């Protein structure tokens, strides 16, 4: 990413479109980048050509959590996920499989 966002205490309530492209995520980076936008009125979210997207991302889209209720478009073109906490495959794996 060209610019490092320092948004821990910032919210963008009027933002309707967000594109994240060509980012190599890990759980910490992913949460830090998207947390400021959880209360936004996003209608379009594009996370394209990114790697390391946590498989637990699907829980972020749970309607019961009230995140992005106006979301109409979700684009995940060319993404690569990683296993981790909250992911069924990771939860079912034994300790050695998780480390290796």
pLDDT (tens digit, 9 = 90+) per residue, 7-64?
555 667 788 999 989 988 876 778 777 877 877 888 999 999 988 887 778 788 887 8
Give the separation between CA 12 and CA 35, rounded to whole angstroms. Answer: 10
Helices (H), 8-84: 27-34, 57-60
Q: Is residue 99 part of a domain?
A: no
Q: Is residue 24 part of a domain?
A: yes
Specify the pLDDT at position 41: 85
Identify the domain containing residue 77 by its residue range.
17-90
Q: Is residue 39 part of a domain?
A: yes
Strand partners, 51: 24, 80
Q: Is residue 2 part of a domain?
A: no
Q: In what order do the strands lie in the sheet with 73-75?
A: 17-21, 44-48, 73-75
Q: How confident is the model at residue 99 (pLDDT cuts 50, 70, 90)?
A: low
pLDDT of 72 strictly over 70: yes
Q: Is residue 98 part of a domain?
A: no
Give the separation between CA 88 and CA 54, rounded to whole angstroms. Answer: 12
Q: Is residue 60 part of a domain?
A: yes
What is the number of domains present in the chain? 1
């Amino acid at each position: 990413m060209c610019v490092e966002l320092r948004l821990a205490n910032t919210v963008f309530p009027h933002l309707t479109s967000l594109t994240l492209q060509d980012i190599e995520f890990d759980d910490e980076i992913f949460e830090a980048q998207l947390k400021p936008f959880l209360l936004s009125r996003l209608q379009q979210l594009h996370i394209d050509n990114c790697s390391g997207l946590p498989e637990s991302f699907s829980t972020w889209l749970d309607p019961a959590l009230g995140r992005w209720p106006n979301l109409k478009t979700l684009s995940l073109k060319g993404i690569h996920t990683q296993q981790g906490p909250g992911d069924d495959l990771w939860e079912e794996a034994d300790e050695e499989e998780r480390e290796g």
